[in-house]
Structure formats: structure tokens, C-alpha cells
Chains A and B, each alone.
Chain A
Amino acid sequence: DIQMTQSPSSLSASVGDRLTITCRASQNINTYLNWYQHKPGEAPKVLIYAASNLQNGVPSRFIGSGSGTEFTLTISSLQPEDFATYYCQQTYSIPPGTFGQGTKVEIK
């Protein structure tokens, strides 16, 4: 099974900060990697698919990059509505798709 490991598991940041979350796969998954944002009580929301493609309607401050085994999600300027938990998901293996354990972004 492909294991997905996110780091850090949580972080504190301020509005306007640039932050980066890392997701590592236990084997090469090419660019079969999605990023989701999840707020308590809400439906999870896809931000990035296929490693670097911005989902329609998602602000351009969310940037995905990487391939192979290492991927990053960068928020270029953190906004108040961005405080949430972020998950990566691999879709290389069929059937889909293991999620990372999540990174909780909290207000400093």
C-alpha cells in the first residue's frame, strides 16, 4: 500500500504569512496527488488536483507543486478563511486513494 505522510501535522501562522505544507509518498506516484481543505462541520473542498492544477473557483494563492514522491502545497498569503485542516490524497493506486494524516493550520 502507498503511504502518504504530511508535515507538519499542525502549525500556527498569521494572516499574510506564506506557508508550505509537505506531502511525501512511500513510492513514486508521478503527479497523481490532490489537495483538500477541510473546515469543521463543512464538506471538504478540493483545492489542487494532479499535483499542480487549481480547481475552478479556488483562489490563486493556493499553489501545488511536486512529482514523484515529494509534493508541496503553498499558500502565498494566508487569509482568515484559510484556517483549516489540509489533506493530500494519492490517486496513483487503483482503487483510489490514500489520504495523508492532515495538517491543521491555526491562528497564531
Chain B
Amino acid sequence: QVHLQESGPGLVKPSETLSLTCTVSGGSISTYYWSWIRQPPGKGLEWIGSIYHSGNTNYNPSLTSRVTISVDTSKNQFSLRLNSMTAADSAIYYCARGRASGSYRVFDFWGQGTLVTVSS
């Protein structure tokens, strides 16, 4: 069974950079694609971006200037960096595995999420 676990700071100061890591167990990170999704308090889910086994990345257009997703295959981990954090970035951050079946895609495994609060 594939398991994903987010790790990183729970508190970030305004204007600083958030760094989160997702550790994948029970499967290789060298296949499928890997994504970050967040949920601000009281709101719905927002896709942040994805990285593919080719190393290509796609980001939400509303965040693309501030976000970087990378992968470390030696550690079976992938990471999120989001700079210039503001209070609007406070959210539960989830990592997820993306599966493609032909042209159909789905996030089939998710981490439990990590709460990030932006505050001085």
C-alpha cells in the first residue's frame, strides 16, 4: 500500500519561504506523477502543482511565480517551495500521487495533510 507523509514547519513568517517535503513509501517515486494540493481554512481544495517522472512540472497559474516543486528519487521524496508567503497562504497542505490511465488522471493516494500558518 502506498503511503504519503508530509513534513515541514507548521508556522512561517510573512514574506518567508515555505518548504515542505512529502515522503513516499510502498512504491517508487520514479513512476506516476506527484502533486501538492492545499485547503485554506473553511475553503475547498486548490491544486498547487505537479511534477512528472520526466521531471517536467506544471503549476497553478495563480501561484506559478512563487512555487517550485522538485523530486529526490534517491530518498523517494518530493518537495514544495512557496516563497513570499502571506496570510492567504495559510492552509492544510496535502501531497498526493497522480495516476494516469490513458488521458484520464486521478489523485489516487494522498497524505493526511500538514497545517501551515503564516504569522509573525
Contacts and interface: CB of A to CB of B under 8 A. Distances in A.
Interface in B47-81: 47, 49-50, 58-60
Contacts of A45: 110
A40 B103 CA distance: 31
A41 B112 contact: yes
Contacts of B35: 96
- The size class of the interface chain B forms with chain A is 20 to 34
Interface string A28-61: 0001101010100111111001100001000000
A67 interface: no
A7 to B, nearest CB: 14
A99 interface: yes
Contacts of B32: none
Interface of B: 4, 35, 43-47, 49-50, 58-60, 94, 96, 98, 101, 103-113
Contacts of B113: 43
A88 B101 CA distance: 18
Nearest to B59: A95
Given A32-B104, A44-B94, A50-B104, A98 B112 contact: no
Nearest to A4: B44
Nearest to B112: A43
A12 to B, nearest CB: 19
A84 to B, nearest CB: 13
